[in-house]
């Protein structure tokens, strides 16, 4: 099991053992909170160097587990995104020195920012074309939206917690992401007024995938989401929508994400 306190050098050695000796494995999923305020000039070569080191760790993870993930490396677009987006600006200041460890981090509201390997894998699984419009359900800190915006033409992201939506909108604006629109609302409903989408990502786990989200996916599009019971292992799945509206479903890896929250849960 990959857990919050594990070091990057040991994370996938544990995973290797699980893949060989057990029919399941667990990645820590993503949940979110407010990001920090960007100030021009904050970026420096130290952060850039740390980001590149993290990218090398992620690439090594993917290569070692290509049988599980279906790929031996990240695409150039996803690799560029992971090397570009300043993750340290999406975590509280007291955790910035840990921002480029390959681990999730607490960010308040009983939420965390996801392990970078999971961010990269979920982005890769969407197989995004540069002209695509993507829906993200669960904005949180805004980090995953920024990664998506590096590989897609337009990103719509929806967040049910008002404070998170405001914070993410501010930091993404300050970072210059003009191709991201942050919406406040219930992710279970999606964004019917903006549909149809070329790809959809869900960043928290519903017990059952809402049909409304599949209805907002274009034929040929992909939806990536963890699905399963609250506080238990879920599966990260990919839905590929067919021309007749049916979906091919691919089960990828077992994961542990926080439950997806809707208005009825509040």
Q: What is the CATH number of domain 8-259?
A: 3.40.50.150
**Does 37 or 52 have the greater pLDDT score?**
52
User: pLDDT tens for residues 232-248?
Assistant: 889 999 999 999 999 99
Residue 53 has pLDDT above 80, yes or no: yes
**Does 100 or 3 have the greater pLDDT score?**
100
Residue 30 has pLDDT above 80, yes or no: no
Measure the CA–CA gap between 128 and 136, rounded to whole angstroms: 13
The mean pLDDT of 123-136, rounded to a whole number, is 97
Q: Helix (H, G, I), strand (E, B), or coil: what is residue 82?
A: helix
User: pLDDT tens for residues 171-223?
Assistant: 999 999 999 999 999 999 999 999 999 999 999 999 999 999 999 999 999 99
Q: Who contacts 10 (Cβ-Cβ below 8 Å, separation ≥6)? A: none
79 labelled catalytic: no
pTM for this model (two decimals):
0.82
Measure the CA–CA gap between 117 and 115, rounded to whole angstroms: 6
Residue 10 has pLDDT above 50, yes or no: no
Measure the CA–CA gap between 186 and 34, rounded to whole angstroms: 18
Pick the catalytic residue: 34, 36, 79, 114?
114
For helices 45-64 and 116-125, what crossing angle results, to 10°? Answer: 60
Q: Who contacts 56 (Cβ-Cβ below 8 Å, separation ≥6)? A: none
Residue 68 has pLDDT above 80, yes or no: no
Residues, the chain: 266
């Amino acid at each position: 099991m990959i857990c919050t306190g594990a070091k990057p050098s040991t994370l996938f050695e544990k995973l290797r053992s699980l893949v060989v000796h057990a029919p399941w494995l667990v990645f820590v999923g993503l949940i979110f909170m407010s990001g920090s305020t960007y100030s021009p000039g904050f970026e420096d070569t130290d952060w850039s160097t740390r980001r590149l080191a993290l990218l090398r760790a992620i690439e090594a993870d993917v290569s070692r587990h290509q049988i599980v993930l279906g790929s031996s490396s990240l695409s150039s677009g996803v690799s560029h995104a992971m090397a570009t987006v300043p993750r340290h600006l999406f975590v509280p200041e007291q955790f910035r020195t840990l921002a480029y460890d390959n681990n999730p981090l607490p960010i308040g509201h009983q939420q965390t920012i996801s392990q970078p390997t999971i961010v990269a894998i979920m982005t890769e699984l969407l197989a995004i074309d540069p002209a695509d419009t993507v829906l993200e359900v669960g904005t949180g800190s805004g980090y995953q939206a920024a990664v998506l915006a590096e590989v897609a033409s337009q990103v719509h992201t929806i967040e049910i917690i008002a404070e998170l939506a405001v914070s993410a909108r501010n930091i993404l604006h300050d970072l210059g992401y003009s191709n991201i629109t942050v919406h406040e609302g219930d992710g279970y409903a999606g964004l019917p007024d903006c549909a149809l989408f070329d790809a959809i990502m869900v960043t928290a786990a519903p017990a059952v995938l809402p049909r409304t989200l599949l209805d907002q996916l274009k034929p040929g599009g992909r939806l990536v989401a963890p699905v399963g019971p609250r506080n238990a292992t879920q599966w990260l799945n990919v839905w590929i929508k067919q021309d007749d509206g049916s979906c091919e479903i691919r089960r990828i890896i077992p994961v542990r994400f926080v439950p997806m929250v809707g208005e009825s849960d509040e």
